[in-house]
Chains A and B, each alone.
Chain A
Amino acid sequence: MNRRDALSRVGLLMGATVIGSEFFLSGCKNTDKKGGSELSKDDIAFLDEVGETIIPTTSTPGAKSVGIGAFMNMMVKDCYTDENQKIFTEGIGKLDEASKKKNSKSFLDSTPEQRTALLNDLDAEQKAYYKSKKKEDPEHYFKLMKQLTLLGYFTSETGATKTLRYIETPGHYDGNLPYKKGDKAWATS
């Protein structure tokens, strides 16, 4: 079963929201300890910029505005296995190395265009990796960063109410709502 099926299955079956499904691929299955180590302030600032490159400010706020770096730090610390914490943390250095290799400068010194080009490369790399990844193979750090960015952003108050649509108490169900291109998606299902 691929991830898409997992999503459909969970969402449709149980009337549950997609939140809590297998989207969070490196789910909290660790069993030994509460909370891992904190990332440094510099790392969090770095992740803010990575997140902002994945979900930039457009007509609506970007990922940096929701504190995506701090969110990633918290999630990695509370919910990641030791193995994935290591992959994620080491990924920060790997990402910067890749930047130096591609753009001859660190990620933070790069222009927004250079940052985007780099992360598009890394995204293509992780997608290719997952095509042949076996279950026991380790996760790819950029997959984790992208996932946490999308999760943290679209479930934030800004993401849910400014970028997407959210209604606390819908009151009724309409299964035939007119839709035109450009209308926003609902934040939760």
Chain B
Amino acid sequence: MPGDSTYVNNKAAAKNTYDAIVVGSGISGGWAAKELTEKGLKVLMLERGHNYEHIKDYKTAPKKPWEFEHRGRVTEEQAKKNPKMMRTWGATEAVIDAWANDEDAPYTEIKPFWWWRSYRLGGRSTLWGRQSYRWSDFDFAANAKDGIAIDWPIRYNDLAPWYDHVEKFAGISGSLEGLPHLPDGQFLPPMPLNIVEIDVADRLKKHYNNQRHMIIGRAAHITAPHPGRTQCQFRNRCWEGCLFGGYFSTQSSTLPAAVLTGNLTVRPDSIVTKVLYDKNTKKATGVEVLDAATNKTYTFNSKIVFLCASALNSAWVLMNSATDIWPEGLGSSSGELGHNVMDHHYNIGASGDIEGYDDKYVYGRRANGFYITRFANLYGDKRNYLRGFGYQGGASREGWSRDVAEMGVGAPLKEALTEPGGWRIGATGFGEILPYHENKITLDKTKKDKWGLPILAMDAELKQNELEMRKDIVSELKAMFEAAGVKNISTWDNGHAMGHGIHEMGTARMGKDPKTSVLNAHNQVWDAPNVFVTDGACMTSAACQNPSLTYMALTARAADYAVAELKKGNI
């Protein structure tokens, strides 16, 4: 046993054998580790990246803005290392190096794909957007109703108690709205909308006869005391790691709980290259690990395996597993492994000026905004495309970086920029992408990554339904802003490359039939019932809500089922 494991449980480690192995330490992996250890299982959590300790490793979080040498800008050296991240907003001085880089871990873009990966303990749980919404039966029943792809094997009632469970522990702030399409949850007090947002929400309510709902974002920030954590301090430096544990991450939340049980072993620098499969018992026996630091190979054994490596990487592990029996990998017998890649399409919206409110400003930096809930194709509404979208946005007064067109240089410019500018409001749509079999990822065996492992090739794109929806996203937002009195409205649609929404889903979907799905209703791989996949890979459709809360609930539910089955001797 290598000596670099942290939180080592020595007895179990001696044999490299555990009750359960959790692959990945992000949002899903953290939940799997917490639930399984709390139920008494000895768990090994494997993380392919380096260790990243709560608070201690949040190196930039205590810095003052002026202590960043390049004031937030990345250098050419950083840009060179990670050209793909330079495409968008992840490229800031504080976080650019938190993303996996193309030099070490390349991927092939058969069609444009923006793949945001963070290879370190906690995965993307310290970098996520923290928006947390329940799904409803409008979502779980959508495929069946529309005759699209396959039906979900579960409904809202199957997941509702698990939403309760994860919300209570993670700490989700939000308002109770009584909307059937966006069920309320176990919320901490909501963050406030600001005065402009309150008025705009009110105008929309009136104009649309109470059919358009602009609410405060439901965010995984604690707004009241929560065990072991300090409530959100409104610094808006979340991505650098929160010194207060103000938002949910593996580090702030699930990992400490799992460690507390004494049942957890965490091994960083551990790339799981395959699930080990025994064709006689038709079950997994454990996993093979390539040590990312030493390039040595290890075997770890367990009764159950939870794959929580993120949608695309969990599929990658399966594709590399049991290939002597199924050439396309474990779970490929359905022909769906790696297919049905989904995301949420965005990068589209509108903004404009709000007049008045010159005597109003805000205090504090709220890392949250408003959410306009879905209205398309609901309650009798009918569009020329399927499904719907929501909007996320905010209103704020402009700061010093605004364009002051009429000002040149000198004291007048300085004085103007010393005061806040006018109020602006803006929002972007987040739209549902349908599951298309032909949107897929495959292994590109012609190229290898830094560790000599085959890489993924991405071949997925938006289709007609999404493109029609995008037109509507812009025109509806423009109409709503006009109705709310927003001036000088400008709209944008900068197109959407798959992955840009950072909500990859669908590559090992759940279903009712092993012929058309990779996983069953409890996230078990049909072909290996002691292997569970509970990250974005398992999603049968995408809805338009941010998906992480649903991964948490599905993971907790699957863990509960796995332990029960283990006790019964069924797996």
Q: Is B77 an interface residue (CB 8 A)?
A: yes
Q: Is A98 an interface residue (CB 8 A)?
A: no
On chain B, the residues within 8 Å of A171 by CB distance are: 233-234, 364
On chain B, the residues within 8 Å of A188 by CB distance are: 65, 236, 365, 399
Binary per-residue interface labels of chain B (87-115) against chain A in the complex, 1 for a CB within 8 Å, 0 otherwise: 00101110000000000000000000000
Task: Determine which residue in B66, B191, B369 has the highest number of CB atoms from chain A within 10 A of its CB, and name it.
Answer: B66
CB distance from B418 to the nearest CB of A (A): 6
Q: Are A13 and B369 in contact (CB under 8 A)?
A: yes
Q: Are B71 and A152 in contact (CB under 8 A)?
A: yes
Binary per-residue interface labels of chain A (58-77) against chain B in the complex, 1 for a CB within 8 Å, 0 otherwise: 10101000000000001100
Complex Cα–Cα for A164 and B400 (A):
9
On chain B, the residues within 8 Å of A135 by CB distance are: none
Q: Is A46 an interface residue (CB 8 A)?
A: no
For window 389-439 of chain B, which residues contact chain A by CB distance below 8 Å?
A: 392-403, 405, 408-411, 413-415, 417-421, 424-428
Q: Is A129 an interface residue (CB 8 A)?
A: no
Nearest CB to that of B67 among chain A residues? A157
Specify which of B66, B73, B235, B358 is in contact with A24 (CB 8 Å cutoff).
B73
Q: When A and B form their complex, what is the total count of cross-chain residue pairs whose Cβ atoms lie within 8 Å?
A: 258
Specify which of B91, B361, B398, B413 is in contact with A54 (CB 8 Å cutoff).
B413
Q: Are B77 and A34 in contact (CB under 8 A)?
A: yes
Q: Are A173 and B409 in contact (CB under 8 A)?
A: no
Nearest CB to that of A22 among chain B residues? B89
On chain B, the residues within 8 Å of A150 by CB distance are: 400-401, 417
Q: Are B399 and A18 in contact (CB under 8 A)?
A: yes
Task: Determine which residue in A15, A34, A182 has the highest number of CB atoms from chain B within 10 A of its CB, and name it.
Answer: A15
Binary per-residue interface labels of chain A (151-177) against chain B in the complex, 1 for a CB within 8 Å, 0 otherwise: 110111101100110101111111111
On chain A, the residues within 8 Å of B7 by CB distance are: none
CB distance from B447 to the nearest CB of A (A): 20
Q: Is B72 an interface residue (CB 8 A)?
A: yes
Q: Are A173 and B192 in contact (CB under 8 A)?
A: yes
Given contacts A15-B238, A53-B409, A33 and B417 within 8 Å (CB-CB) = no
Complex Cα–Cα for A151 and B66 (A):
11
CB distance from A162 to the nearest CB of B (A): 10
Q: Is B351 an interface residue (CB 8 A)?
A: yes
Q: Is A111 an interface residue (CB 8 A)?
A: no
Given contacts A13-B369, A30-B76, A164-B418, A189 and B396 within 8 Å (CB-CB) = yes
Q: Are B426 and A12 in contact (CB under 8 A)?
A: yes
Q: Is A40 an interface residue (CB 8 A)?
A: no
Binds A, one of B28-36, B78-86, B291-299: B78-86
Q: Is A183 an interface residue (CB 8 A)?
A: yes
Q: Are A15 and B236 in contact (CB under 8 A)?
A: yes
Count, chain B residues at interface, CB 8 A:
82
Complex Cα–Cα for A92 and B111 (A):
44
Q: Are A79 and B419 in contact (CB under 8 A)?
A: no
On chain A, the residues within 8 Å of B65 by CB distance are: 17, 19, 155, 160, 166, 187-188
Complex Cα–Cα for A169 and B492 (A):
34
CB distance from A131 to the nearest CB of B (A): 11
Q: Is B349 an interface residue (CB 8 A)?
A: yes
Q: Are B400 and A154 in contact (CB under 8 A)?
A: yes
Complex Cα–Cα for A76 and B421 (A):
28
On chain A, the residues within 8 Å of B360 by CB distance are: 176-179
Nearest CB to that of A19 among chain B residues? B72
Complex Cα–Cα for A37 and B108 (A):
35
Given contacts A19-B71, A28-B79, A175 and B197 within 8 Å (CB-CB) = yes
On chain A, the residues within 8 Å of B396 by CB distance are: 11-12, 189
On chain A, the residues within 8 Å of B395 by CB distance are: 12
Given contacts A28-B79, A55-B414, A13 and B428 within 8 Å (CB-CB) = yes
Q: Are B368 and A174 in contact (CB under 8 A)?
A: no
Given contacts A5-B351, A19-B65, A116-B410, A10 and B197 within 8 Å (CB-CB) = no
For window 490-504 of chain B, which residues contact chain A by CB distance below 8 Å?
A: 490, 492, 494
Complex Cα–Cα for A124 and B405 (A):
10
On chain B, the residues within 8 Å of A166 by CB distance are: 65
Q: A12-B426, A21-B401 are in contact. List 7 more A-B contacts (CB 8 A).
A: A4-B403, A12-B395, A15-B369, A56-B410, A169-B233, A173-B366, A185-B419
- Chain A residues near B (Cβ < 8 Å): 1-5, 7-21, 23-24, 27-35, 53-56, 58, 60, 62, 74-75, 78-81, 116, 119-120, 123-124, 127, 146, 150-152, 154-157, 159-160, 163-164, 166, 168-189
CB-CB nearest 7 A-B residue pairs: A175-B194, A20-B92, A173-B364, A19-B72, A15-B367, A120-B408, A170-B364
What are 27 A-B interface contacts by the 8 Å CB criterion? Answer: A5-B492, A11-B396, A13-B369, A17-B365, A20-B91, A28-B73, A28-B74, A30-B80, A31-B80, A34-B80, A53-B410, A54-B410, A54-B413, A58-B414, A74-B69, A123-B409, A155-B66, A156-B66, A160-B65, A171-B233, A172-B363, A173-B362, A176-B195, A176-B362, A180-B359, A183-B420, A187-B65
